[in-house]
A and B are shown apart, each in its own frame.
Chain A
């Protein structure tokens, strides 16, 4: 009984929220709009099953996901050490801040044109855009995390006999983990925006391409399948990040004890 009640307290609200979302959608498309341009969720689900059975949906899904993951991992792997260096050493920060402060205001969507000119319409341009949209957020959050470390954490390590390298790896790095994860979570959300925009403009497959084709051939149901897939995919990845932040952040708190 207790387990069921806990499950309800944890997920009951969610389930209800999602159910009401789809119910409202169903009602709105049946009675409010009542047009083929706004299909109800039941039709969209049927279409999704068809597209899933034929494998088309997964092809598009996998194409987008692969690009996001490649660019996101590469962008994070580049961004974390740069952010750590900027947060730790003032000269490095002074040197690199012009780059981050200038480039982060040029949205990745605006870079699509340049990316296509430089890298063509293949995978390279997409991965470049995802790296671009990931790296600055990860750098900024990592650097902020380093400067948020309580000075007493460093002082304690010094007077316990730790060397500078040990302080970096055993104190500064773990203390920054929640900030890095938060930066990556924000970057992941940006990656979704960027990949759809890039695929809308130039791609042979992907969820964005699916949207574009749907518009071109008036396949309204396909458009909605793509939209719902994007929503669910984004929701699932964000949950994963939230879960890992909650798991680590409690202990990895940079300022508190």
Chain B
């Protein structure tokens, strides 16, 4: 393969707690993400998955190592890396669905007609046709996540960062959204970093899964390449084989994270 789009090189993140104690959340984190990959970062809760996403997004700086994208060090947020957040608090409640999707284009000075046309196209892509003029407060949790996805896609980033975007949804909506995201990704082939604690979700969506060790000093324990991406049913042998492989890798980490907390 050519040079990776993103590379984490020996990345570490140490937080200082309120008691003044240093907590090394991440240590020696090494991962390369290639162009066009759907990379799922899987780990038990509290292992620092979201910290990895925040550092790549540019919201937080690593305390050790370096993160590079396109051969340049990540320094602050950039429209190259669009973020889909877990909750709905990143949406702008005073803007309609279509205005939310237009936001990035409007900030960049794209003409009114062009940005409206692009926003409507992306709302349709995520299945929100007919909801354009509604405010986020009038829409369900699943629909709000669709607005977030449309908002990021319309901005045409080089990469999508998704932080457990379906974790707060009910099971039915979640599996529907997973299937739709998979089909959007198959059409667009944008590079994705997808954070999740759900093995099923990782195996369903990912082309590669990085399993993280439980914190502290968390890093990638092992990598699994998957070739399903939503095209297979959850009862297929292939799906179950991958599931088992990942499950066995993560089992001890979940136990460790539980033991750590109690």
**Given contacts A160-B103, A162-B107, A174-B94, is CB(A256)–CB(B83) below 8 Å?**
no
Complex alpha-carbon distance, A157 and B107, angstroms: 9
- Map CB proximity to B onto A185-204 as digits: 1 under 8 Å, 0 otherwise: 00000000000000000000
Q: Which residues of B contact A177 (CB under 8 A)?
A: 94
Contact of B94 among A150, A159, A162, A251 (CB under 8 A): A251
Least CB distance, B70 to chain A, in whole angstroms: 16
Closest A residue by C-beta to B151: A160
Give complex CA distance A255, B152 in Å: 20
Query: A158, A159, A162, A163: which has the most chain B beta carbons within 10 Å?
Result: A159
Q: Interface size of B by Cβ–Cβ distance < 8 Å?
A: 33
Chain A nearest CB from B192 CB (Å) reads 14
- Taking the complex as formed, is B69 at the interface, i.e. its CB lies under 8 A from any CB of chain A? no
Binds A, one of B74-82, B113-121, B204-212, B230-238: B74-82
Please determine whether B77 and A159 come into contact, CB atoms closer than 8 angstroms. yes
Q: How far is the CA of A160 from the CA of B81 in the complex (A)?
A: 8
A159 and B57 contact, Cβ closer than 8 Å, known pairs A152-B85, A170-B107? yes
The answer, yes or no, to whether A113 is at the interface (CB within 8 Å) is: no
B107 touches A252 (CB 8 A): no
- B79-A171 in contact (CB<8A): no
Secondary structure of the B contact surface, majority rule: loop
Contact, CB under 8 Å: A257 / B77: no
Do A257 and B94 touch across chains, with their CB atoms under 8 A apart?
no
In the complex, the answer to whether B135 meets A251 with C-beta atoms within 8 Å is yes
For window 215-257 of A, CB contacts with B under 8 Å fall at: 248, 250-253, 255-257
Is residue B149 contacting chain A, with contact meaning CB distance below 8 A? no
Q: Do A161 and B78 touch across chains, with their CB atoms under 8 A apart? A: yes
User: What chain B residues lie within 8 Å of A253 (beta carbons)?
Assistant: 93, 137
Residue among A152, A156, A251 with most chain B CB within 10 A: A156
Residues of A near B42 (CB, < 8 A) are none
Flag if B151 contacts A250 (CB, 8 Å): no
A159 touches B103 (CB 8 A): no
Give B104-138 as 1s and 0s: 1 = Cβ < 8 Å from A's Cβ atoms: 10011000000000000000000000000001110
Nearest-neighbour CB distance to chain A for B216, whole angstroms, equals 24
A166 contacts chain B at the CB level, 8 A cutoff = yes
Cβ B81 vs Cβ A159 within 8 A:
yes
Q: Does B250 contact A (CB under 8 A)?
A: no
A155: Cβ under 8 A from any B Cβ = yes
* Assembly CA distance A82 to B193 (angstroms): 41
Contacts of B136 in A (CB 8 A): 257
A160 and B94 form a contact (CB under 8 A): no
Counting from the closest, the 6 A-B pairs by CB-CB distance are: A257-B88, A161-B79, A160-B104, A158-B77, A152-B90, A150-B89
Chain B residues with a Cβ under 8 A of chain A: 57-59, 76-79, 81-83, 85, 87-95, 103-104, 107-108, 135-137, 144, 151-152, 155, 157, 161
Known contacts A160-B155, A257-B89; 7 additional CB pairs below 8 A are A152-B89, A155-B57, A155-B83, A156-B90, A162-B103, A253-B93, A257-B136
Mind listing 11 A-B residue pairs with CB under 8 Å?
A: A155-B59, A156-B90, A159-B77, A159-B157, A160-B151, A161-B107, A174-B92, A174-B94, A248-B94, A251-B94, A257-B136
| Chain A residues within 8 Å of B, Cβ to Cβ | 150, 152-153, 155-163, 166, 170-171, 174-175, 177, 248, 250-253, 255-257
